[in-house]
Amino acid sequence: MKQTLREYYDKAYATGRKAIGHFISIAARDRVVVVIPAFNEEKNIQRTIQLIHGTGINPRIIVVNDGSTDRTAEIARTNGCEVYSMDKNVGKSHAVFKGFKEAILIK
């Protein structure tokens, strides 16, 4: 049975496992955009992206690589996401803001 994104995160938090930040979805010109701030999430990012694609809504996914030193950006790019990388870790709020700025640009 397929697990929904919400079920995945509820279970992750209930069991104390790490889940990737928070998802922020915005509607932009009748499209859904998902902004994922990520810092050293190479172990989780692919599964997260697969769960988003599994919703059937086919959103534009923006991953903001917040100064990761692992393969987070590479894995996200390989899975069809737009990736914007920060030079250093600036925190979730700055990464989310960067994602929002990129989301409102017409592509």
Residue 13 has pLDDT above 60, yes or no: no
Q: Are 55 and 25 in contact (CB under 8 A)?
A: no
Residue 7's pLDDT band (cuts 50, 70, 90): low
Tens of pLDDT, residue by residue over 29-55, are: 457 899 999 999 999 999 999 999 988
| C-alpha to C-alpha distances, 100 to 8, 21, 24, 34, 43, nearest whole angstrom | 24, 15, 9, 9, 24
Residue 50 identity (one-letter amino acid): Q
| C-alpha to C-alpha distances, 91 to 23, 64, 80, 95, nearest whole angstrom | 15, 11, 24, 6
- How does the average pLDDT of the chain come out, rounded? 81
Q: What is the pLDDT of residue 11?
A: 64
Residue 100 has pLDDT above 80, yes or no: yes
Residue 2 has pLDDT above 90, yes or no: no
Tell me the mean pLDDT in the region 69-93: 96
